[in-house]
Amino acid sequence: MTAAPAIQTFPRRVRLLTGADYRRVFEDARRQRGRDLTLLYRRSDSGEARLGLAIGKRHVRHASARNRIKRIVREAFRLRRTDLPPLDMIVLARGGAATTDRRALRAEIDSLLERLQ
């Protein structure tokens, strides 16, 4: 198996890791809404795009569905992160995300990320 190019990885420095990181975005967020996903974002202090995920059990009951949504969002971010402006962003799932198919979720997150450029 070959390794992915370094620019297509998802290293720790491009993740929102601490509660303070999440709080900063939630307190001063702009919003892009899709049908099943919401993207909150603000200017990043780190100088590059960073991603956080908040896929709540309240909206997506089953862990397997939450994990599927997270994988789809991380993959879309990983492939686009070098083209994104320096923003801290959090993706939230809305009620219908659990039943939406993979292609539709991927198209939606791609559309939300495209609006940021």
State pTM to two decimals: 0.89
The answer to the question of residue 94 being in a domain is yes
3-state SS, residue 89: strand
CATH number at residue 97: 3.30.230.10
Count up the domains in the chain and report the number.
1
**Domain of 69, in residue numbers:** 18-115
The answer to the question of residue 92 being in a domain is yes
Tell me the pLDDT of the chain (117 aa) as tens digits: 566 566 677 888 899 999 999 999 999 999 999 999 999 999 988 889 999 999 999 989 999 999 999 999 999 999 998 899 999 999 999 888 999 999 999 999 999 999 987
Per DSSP, the chain holds a count of helices (H) and strands (E) of: 3, 4
Residue 82, token pair as written in the block: 């070098």
Whole-number Å distance between alpha carbons of 32 and 41: 8
Instruction: Decide: 97 and 105 in contact? Cβ < 8 Å.
Output: yes
The label of the residue with tokens 């420095």 reads 13
- For residue 54, give the nearest of 75, 77, 37 by alpha carbon: 37
The answer to the question of residue 37 being in a domain is yes
